Structure 1
């Protein structure tokens, strides 16, 4: 049944889903038209909103580019690649390869979303070198694990409300992660996804006659750098010096230890710092590191050009009042019991236009929190409903897929047909459990 469902969805996406850059332009026009029609926004004022917000995500864009680059540096280092190769060796068939990449991606994304995106892509490529399996589904399976991230240890919304001084503390106080991320009902959703996502990916595996394979030679060169010649120049010796890399890598690791010992939190900057300096030590030489850097940067073009357009969309949605109107409508049809579910659905819709967990919480918190208080709804569940909704429609929104697709060498249309199937099934699972548990 899943194979029959995924086949037309894949064909549909391959035919009609344009490049991610075209997708973001269409979303911009849709958001602008909706703001004019439903909010009565003046077109001139709307253009001003869009242009003023266009560069608001520059720092975030650089952080995301570094997630891709530093994550690729670490994941492609000799020690990590050996671990991934050994893990890939556990796959003895096409089906086991799909299940294995799903589980690894789910686990890595639950630990940290950036780590999950990069490790999932690298591991998918490693499996493609060893097993003849549909490469599109392999990468889609790796990306499907990302649906779990906002219910995991790097979930930006639950971590925000657990931090003293957060912008809604006067309304809800500080809510511990034991009531959100590590609550029994949230862990039940996580456990259900760990079972369902791999099985759905396995069920979508096309027959061998319909597989789309990839030439392993096109997946990058894993050959070790040539040994240093006897007549190497001083510059070449510096590029191959392990001592030089240790001299800068060890202080970086010491800073990380001091940061965590001092109670420092995990955020994007810390994750990138970790990836970079552990990667420096794992590569051992500047020559090996720079080779990985060169390969990793190639996949970052989409991030550089598209994220400013998403910043413009976010400005339209927030400043025109469109995002708040969407949220308020869902609140109007809710009860104390159903508000977590409707917060999940509303967040899923808003996420298509505002694909940032922190940015989305800034938009929806002023609407959802008073509604939860007025209805007497369980506050942690309402908050996590927004978090899960944000993660859920990432399966349809190519914004977060760009880093993974850049590493894998694919386009959104190659995997989105499979992701649509996951969107339907995980939506039922997450939404249903938010209502039942």
Structure 2
């Protein structure tokens, strides 16, 4: 917990920064935990199904039967956070962070530098981006030759999640759509499998990512406090001591293997061999689109970088608390999706079918893209989960996209680019970063809200204009697998 430094009240702020600080204070006081929003979402969806004419038995059956539909995907998303944390806290990455922290020579440049690196790393792994960005911000703040605003550094470290995370390799929606085994059967029959070549690796998606990275970096640079407005970590009461824990002693002969560097090396060689085999036997996009393969590589990379099983397990233990929100919320999202798609009401139509009709009535083209983006952004404020929320939205959004002949891969990317926007307002995904920075959400939201006001119109313009460059490709639906 931080202590307020002199002059940090909202009265000293001006313009959008002051509005954002007021908003942050209001949300901290009145917004409940994200889990409460998920519980409320289940209740609202159940009420909507009842109003649609579904029987109470149909609703409760859909709730209970669908509750564990996302068990595999829940574990996969928790592993994204865990593997990112483990890699970011490894000694080699820590040394890299210390070297990078010496690069910026000016306070404003330091802020934009953290933002740029945070977004670049986020393209690989959003969990890694949070921890990497936070540790880089702390390393820069420890410099005695550079006076930098710690709040702005922290907000910059969050830009990987606030700008481009869902356009990268760890995008929940893109990974889900590329992995048939993780897709609920009903959704698979609507969309088929969409590999990365149809989503994040399209030139339109890569161009969107590049534009947002450049825009965010410039805004971070221009909005960084200067002179007397700067509030350092010391002034905010933050302890920047990141000294590593002393190595524990080996007290029993049986502990020898726990400190052995041989096993991690052998595991790394096995993983490298498997990866080479995959690339030799399968198409490139199929290999990198595999969520399980992606997680395997990052997990074993963390083991190799930590050097010994003991060090690796200590890092895993520290990472586990950051996965709590995913583990308890995703089953609720699965239940919501089941109620929406399986609890039939009057006329045999589900709530999902009615929503699909509504979006289809908007028509194709730019109007459809803009409405889907706005809907995704608004819903994301109340359901802060990229993958879980996609399972709720996807059945009716993708059905609507098919009906109006909107390219399905681009529809996924419309969702992805809009999904990052609410992260700039809702502090749910800030939690792992805040734990690293030892700050509160209100310390960062003044800067992230400014980014939000600039990102929103740019995102809407991009999904509208770039959507015109796509042609519709009918989904390739795999044959249904018979029940055992």
TM-score range, shorter chain: 0.7 to 0.9
The one-character-per-residue Cα deviations of 1:365-415 (angstroms, maximum 9, x if unpaired) are 12211112xxxx566544532333334334455665555556556676665
The 8 Å contact of residues 56 and 311 in structure 1, kept in 2 or not, is answered as yes
2:166 is equivalent to residue 150 of structure 1: yes
Structure 1-normalised TM-score?
0.80
Structural mapping, 1:340-359, within 5 Å: 340-349=369-378, 351=380, 352-353=382-383, 355-356=386-387, 359=391
2:453 is equivalent to residue 424 of structure 1: yes
Aligned equivalent of 1:96: 109
**Within 2, Cα distance between the matches of 1:299 and 1:178?**
31
The one-character-per-residue Cα deviations of 1:322-348 (angstroms, maximum 9, x if unpaired) are 455445323323343432222322333
Aligned equivalent of 2:270: 251
The one-character-per-residue Cα deviations of 1:18-50 (angstroms, maximum 9, x if unpaired) are 33333333444444444445x344455434433
The 8 Å contact of residues 148 and 231 in structure 2, kept in 1 or not, is answered as no
Aligned equivalent of 2:10: none
CA displacement at 1:257 relative to structure 2: 3.0
Aligned equivalent of 2:418: 389
Structure 1 or 2: larger helix share?
1
**Within 2, Cα distance between the matches of 1:311 and 1:123?**
36
The one-character-per-residue Cα deviations of 1:94-137 (angstroms, maximum 9, x if unpaired) are 43333222111211222344443443344344445447756555
Q: Which runs of 5+ in 1 are unaligned?
A: none
The 8 Å contact of residues 68 and 403 in structure 1, kept in 2 or not, is answered as no
2:238 is equivalent to residue 222 of structure 1: no
The one-character-per-residue Cα deviations of 1:119-158 (angstroms, maximum 9, x if unpaired) are 3344344445447756555444333322313333444656
The 8 Å contact of residues 336 and 378 in structure 1, kept in 2 or not, is answered as no
Aligned equivalent of 1:260: 279
The one-character-per-residue Cα deviations of 1:244-281 (angstroms, maximum 9, x if unpaired) are 33233322332233233433234332232112211222
Aligned equivalent of 2:83: 70
Aligned equivalent of 1:23: 37
**Within 1, Cα distance between the matches of 2:137 and 2:193?**
39
Aligned equivalent of 1:330: 359
Aligned equivalent of 1:6: 20
Structural mapping, 1:41-60, within 5 Å: 41-43=54-56, 45-60=58-73
Structural mapping, 1:124-143, within 5 Å: 124-130=137-143, 137-143=152-158
The 8 Å contact of residues 373 and 418 in structure 2, kept in 1 or not, is answered as yes
Greater shift in the superposed pair: 281-290 or 235-244: 235-244
* RMSD between aligned residues: 3.8
Aligned equivalent of 2:318: 295
Aligned equivalent of 2:482: none
CA displacement at 1:79 relative to structure 2: 0.6
Aligned equivalent of 1:305: 328
**Within 2, Cα distance between the matches of 1:103 and 1:397?**
21
Greater shift in the superposed pair: 358-367 or 392-401: 392-401
The 8 Å contact of residues 347 and 390 in structure 1, kept in 2 or not, is answered as yes
Give the secondary structure class of the aligned counterpart of 1:111.
Answer: coil
**Within 1, Cα distance between the matches of 2:353 and 2:441?**
29
The 8 Å contact of residues 303 and 402 in structure 1, kept in 2 or not, is answered as no
Q: 1:212 to 1:362 in 2, by over 3 A?
A: farther
**Within 2, Cα distance between the matches of 1:173 and 1:390?**
22
CA displacement at 1:76 relative to structure 2: 1.0
The 8 Å contact of residues 190 and 398 in structure 2, kept in 1 or not, is answered as no
CA displacement at 1:215 relative to structure 2: 1.4
The one-character-per-residue Cα deviations of 1:407-429 (angstroms, maximum 9, x if unpaired) are 55667666556544444332211
Structure 2-normalised TM-score?
0.73
**Within 2, Cα distance between the matches of 1:82 and 1:388?**
32
Q: Which runs of 5+ in 2 are unaligned?
A: 1-14, 344-349, 467-484
Correspondence for 2:136 among 104, 123, 133: 123
Correspondence for 1:241 among 260, 273, 279: 260
Q: 1:77 to 1:170 in 2, by over 3 A?
A: closer
